[in-house]
Amino acid sequence: MSDPGPDIPIATPAMTAARAQEIASSFDLRNLPADFNANPYPVYDLLRASEPVRAMPDGSWFLTRYEDLVAVYRDARTFSSDKKIEFAPKYLHRPWEPDADPSHAAPLFAHHTTSLVFNDPPLHTRVRKLIMGALTRRAIRDMEPGLITLVDRLLDDIGAAGSGDLIADYASAIPVEIIGNLLAVPHADRGPLRGWSLAILGALEPALSPEQEALGNRSVAEFLAYLEQLVADRRKHPGDPQQDVLTRLIQGESDDAGGSRLSERELLHNCIFILNAGHETTTNLIGNALVALQECPDAKDALLQRLTHYRDDAATLEGYLDSAVDEFLRFESSNQLGNRRATVACTIGGVHLPAGALVTLCIGAANRDPAQFDAPDRLDLWRRDNRHLAFGFGIHQCAGLSLARLEGRIAIGRFLARYPNYRLTAQPVRGGRARFRGFLSAPFSAAPRLPLRQMGPLPAAADSPDHIQRRAMPVCHVIHPTYRTSNGHYNTSPSRACANCARSHNASVLELWRSNKVCTSGSSGVCAGSTSKT
Ligand code: HEM
C-alpha cells in the first residue's frame, strides 16, 4: 500500500510483527481483538505460513491457504454446507435432534438452516435453479439503466450537500434498491430491510452476545411476518417471472421426481436470504473500494487516468472497471469467512480431519495467498488471472455475482468520474466483524471537481493489457460508438461504416454483440466476419 499522505485518515493501520505474532499464537476466532479486525492480513500471513490448517480452541479448523479452500469448495459431498448440527448449539443451545422440525425452532435457527446457502442438494439445487432463472445475463443487463439512474440521483444529492457519508449516503443506498427491485418489494416497505439484514447476518458471527441473538431472532420474526403478506399479495397479483424472483419462487417448478415445489416455509426463508445476501456484501464492496482508493493513491490515479482517457470508449472503460472491481473484491473481500462440515474423515492440506469436523474457510487469507497472487498485498487494479474466492467457488458460488459486479462497476465508476477529488474527512468506522468486512461510516468531502484533462495523460506504456481488451466487448470499431453509448444504453439507430473494414454494420452487429460474438476486422481492411469473443 503506498503512503496516502498526511491528510488522509488511516482506515487500515499497520500492525507490528510482534503484535501479529502475539495474535496468531493464541488465535481464537471467537475472541478477536479490535486491532485484528482493523487489519487482519499480517495475522493471516503468519497462520498461512506456519499452520495453514489450524486447530481452534473449540475443536474446529481454520483454513488460510488458497489451494486448500479450493479443494474444500470442490468437494461438496465431503464438505457439507448443511448447518443444522453446527447451529443447534449456537441458536437452540442444545444439540440437534435429527427428528426435530426446524420450523418450530428459534427463528434464527429456522432461517439459517432453511436458506439454500446452508443446505446441500437436493433442496439447494431446487432453490438455486429457481433463483438463477431470474438472474440471467439479459435480466441483469436490463437492470443497468435503472441502476444508473439511481446512482446518478444519489450523486446529485451528494453534489448538492458537498459532502456526506460514503456508506449511509451512497454504498448502502444502492443494494437495498436493487435487491428490493429483484423481489419487487414496494418502495414504501424498504425502510426496515437493511436493519433486519444486518441483524440476521450479524448473528452469523463466530461469537454472539445475548443482545445480538435476541435482535437476530426478532428480525427474522418481523421479516417473516412482512413477507407472508407480500407473498399472499403476489400470489393474487403475480409479476413477470423472468424478472421478479419472488413470483418465480412462488410459481416454483416441477422437478424430475414429480413436481415438488418450495414449501411456504422454504419460500419465505429463501426470500429473506436473497434480500440479505445482496445487501451488506455489495455495500461493503462499494464502501471498501472507495476507502481503499484513498489509502492507495497510485491505484486511484491510475483508475482516474483510465476514466479520463477512455471516457468516450465505454467498452474499454468497462473492461478496466470490471478488472478493478474484481481486484477490490480480492483485496478487501466483503465476505471473509465461509464454513463447511466434514461428513467423513478426510485429509486437507496434509492434516487429518475427523468426520464431523467443522471447517472455517478464510476467504480473506486465501485471497492474499502469495502462492496464488503475485504481490498479494498490493492493490493491482489490472491484475491478470485474478481468480479470487470472494464469491466462493463450486456449487454454492455466489448466485448474484454478475449483479454484484454490475453494481460495483456502475457505483464505483460513476462516483469517481463525478468526484475524482473526494477525500475522507474523518476516521472511517469499521463494522468490527470478522465475517463481513466493511465500514459503518466513512465521512467524506466531495471536493470540487477538477476538469478531467488536468489529471494528466496516460503513461506511454499503459496500452490496455490483453485481459482488459478481452473483457471489453467490441473489437470491431463500429460496434462501440454506434451501438453502445457511454451511459450504457444500446443505440439501435442505423449503421455506420466500420473504421477498419469500411463495411456498413447495422442491426446484425447488434445481434453479434448480444449473442456474445464480435465482428473482427482484418488488418488487410477486409472484415473477417464474426467470431466468438472468447
Ligand atoms: C460483493 C457482493 C457479494 C459477495 C462478496 C458475495 C459473496 C458470496 C459468497 C462467498 C457466497 C458463497 C457462500 C458459500 O459458499 O458458503 C455467496 C452465495 C450466494 N450469494 Fe452472494 N455475494 C455478493 C452479492 C450477492 C448478490 C447481489 C446476490 C443477489 C442475488 C447474492 C446472492 C447469493 C446467493 C443466492 C448465494 C447462495 C448460492 C448457493 O448457495 O448456491 N449475492 N455469495
Cβ 109 vs Cβ 80: under 8 Å: no
What is the rounded distance in angstroms from the CA atom of residue 170 to the CA atom of residue 99? Answer: 46
> Which amino acid residue places its CA nearest to atom 21 of ligand 1?
398
Residue 400's CB is within 10 A of a number of other CB atoms, namely 23
Nearest-atom index, ligand 1, CA of 245 = 30
Q: Which of left, alpha, beta for 15 (phi over 0: left; psi -120 to 50: alpha)?
A: beta
Q: Give me ligand 1 centre to Cα 282, in Å.
A: 10
Cα(21) to centroid(ligand 1), Å: 32
Which residue's alpha carbon is nearest to atom 41 within ligand 1?
396
Give tens-digit pLDDT for 250-281. Answer: 887 544 444 457 788 888 999 999 989 998 99
- Residue having the nearest C-alpha atom to atom 7 of ligand 1: 391
pLDDT (0 to 100) of residue 463 = 66
Q: Is the pLDDT of residue 99 over 80?
A: no
Which protein residue has the closest C-alpha to ligand 1 atom 30? Answer: 400
Q: Give dist(CA 357, CA 341) in Å, integer.
A: 6
Smallest CA separation from ligand 1 atom 11, residue: 398
The C-alpha cell that represents 36 in the structure block: 485484528
User: Which of 79, 131, 246, 398 to probe ligand 1 with, by most ligand atoms within 8 A of CB?
Assistant: 398
**Global pTM?**
0.85
Locate 295 and state its grid cell: 489509502
DSSP codes joined into one string, 288-342: HHHHHHHH-HHHHHHHHHHHHHTTT-HHHHHHHHHHHHHHHHHHT-SB-EEEEEE
Amino acid 506 reads: N
Q: What are phi and psi of 466, to 5 degrees?
A: -55, -45
Residue 10 confidence (pLDDT) above 80? no
pLDDT per residue as tens digits for the range 197-240: 989 998 988 888 999 999 999 999 999 999 999 999 999 999 98
Q: What is the pLDDT of residue 505?
A: 44
How far, CA to CA in Å, does 346 sit from each of 351, 356, 521? 8, 10, 54
Nearest CA to ligand 1 atom 40: 117
Cα–ligand 1 centroid distance for 277 (angstroms)? 6
**Which residue's CA is the nearest one to ligand 1's atom 4?**
281
DSSP 3-state of 11: coil
* Amino acid 459: pLDDT: 62
Task: Between 511 and 28, name the one with better pLDDT.
Answer: 28
Residue nearest to atom 19 of ligand 1 (CA): 398
Domain 17-463: CATH superfamily, name plus number:
Cytochrome P450 (1.10.630.10)
pLDDT interval class at 423 (50, 70, 90): very high
Atom of ligand 1 nearest to the CA of 338: 16
For ligand 1, atom 17, the nearest C-alpha belongs to 398
Residue 66 CB: number of other CB atoms within 10 A?
24
List the beta bridge partners of residue 424: 444
Span of 1-5, 273-277, 341-345, 394-398 with lowest mean pLDDT: 1-5
Say how far apart CA 382 and CA 27 lie, in whole Å.
Answer: 34
> Domain extents for the chain?
17-463, 474-534
Lowest mean pLDDT of 37-51, 126-140, 285-299, 369-383, name the range: 126-140
What pLDDT, on the 0 to 100 scale, is given for residue 339? 96
Residues 6+ apart with CB under 8 A from 454: none
Q: Distance between CA 534 and CA 525 in Å, rounded?
A: 22
pLDDT at 483 over 50: no
Element (H, E) at 362: strand 358-362
Q: Where are the beta strands (DSSP E) in 145-288?
A: 163-165
User: Cα of 130 to ligand 1 centre, how many Å?
Assistant: 15
CA distance 321 to 306: 9
Taking the CA of residue 116 as reference, the ligand 1 atom at the shortest distance is: 40
- Reported confidence tier of residue 494, pLDDT bands at 50, 70, 90: very low
Please say if the pLDDT value at position 63 is more than 50. Answer: yes
Residue-level length of the chain:
534
Atom of ligand 1 nearest to the CA of 333: 5
* pLDDT tens, position by position, 428-445: 999 988 899 999 999 999
Residues 71 and 149: their CA atoms lie apart, in Å, by 42
Q: Which residues line ligand 1 (CB under 6 A)?
A: 81, 116-117, 124, 128, 131, 274, 277-278, 281-282, 285, 334-335, 338, 390-392, 396, 398-400, 403-404
Task: Read off the pLDDT of residues 78-94 as tens digits, 9 standing for 90 and up.
Answer: 999 999 999 999 999 98
Q: Is 361 helix (H, G, I), strand (E, B) or coil?
A: strand
Per-residue model confidence (pLDDT) at position 396:
96
